Amino acid sequence: MINSRPDILAPVGSYESLTTAIKAGCDSVYFGVEQLNMRARSSINFTTDDLARISDICETNDVKAYITRNTVLYDHDMALMRNIVSAAKEGGISAVIASDHAVMAYAKSIELPVHVSTQANVSNIETVDFYSAYADLMITSRELSLRQVESIVTEIRRREITGPSGSLVRIETCAHGALCMATSGKCYLSLHSNNSAANRGACIQNCRKKYIMIEQQDGVELEIDN
């Protein structure tokens, strides 16, 4: 009989939240290390020195550990990205969650499994087919409906799209948490208002505040909340 229960993946940003997630029964956890992750500003991030300990804790509890490298990257980020991804490989981390092709290519070169981040906007079967050269698991765009996710999963099976391991590509979807008002990975509101780039992990979450919008021609006011 096939087990229909999906794996539960939980974000963690400290040893306290790691312990809590494990006790709550998660199957895997994901977290950022220092810079270059989407939670760089909103959580207490681990350092590369923590990786081996995190891996040991997760292995003891039969939980997978994934590291995120899912921000926009520039040329000056490459050395740091390689150092962190290499440290994850050496520390026994199960996979890297990536949105930038540079991370995917480097992780593949050192044989660290890749999971494609929701920031990469995986929203159709052709994109799944493209990324299957790098990843066995892809996290669909948060804007998709359950029917759209189901259609992608059905088509993966029909086309027999496999990842680097030779197994069918697996799909993960975000079921709980903050849903950005913009398309995943494409919001610039925080950057324009406070010079704090959301796509570099520094979103100040403007969209959760209340605003009064005034239409200049007729003076019509709209109250906008979250």
The helix/strand/coil state of 208 is: helix
Q: How far is CA 105 from the centre of its chain?
A: 17
Question: How do beta strands 221-225 and 210-214 pair?
Answer: antiparallel
pTM of this prediction? 0.79
CA 124 to chain centre: 17
Provide the phi-psi class of 5: left if phi over 0, else alpha when psi is between -120 and 50, else beta. beta
Both tokens of 205, joined, read 């979450």
Q: Say if residues 190 and 198 touch (Cβ distance below 8 Å).
A: yes
Q: Where are the alpha helices (DSSP H) in the chain?
A: 15-24, 51-60, 78-90, 101-109, 125-131, 146-159, 189-194
Contact 98, 69 (CB under 8 A): yes
What gap in Å lies between CA 58 and CA 208, rounded to an integer? 33
Q: Sort 81 into a burial class: Cβ within 10 Å, 0-12 / 13-18 / 19+.
A: buried
Question: Which domains, from first to last, does the chain contain?
Answer: 9-172 (3.20.20.60), 189-225 (no CATH)
Structure-block tokens of residue 217: 């021609």
Digit-by-digit pLDDT tens for the chain (226 residues) are: 455 788 999 999 899 999 999 999 999 999 988 765 555 555 566 888 999 999 999 999 999 999 998 888 899 999 999 999 999 999 999 999 999 999 999 999 999 999 999 889 899 999 999 999 999 999 998 889 999 999 999 999 999 999 999 999 999 998 876 666 666 667 777 787 888 777 666 777 777 788 888 988 888 998 887 6
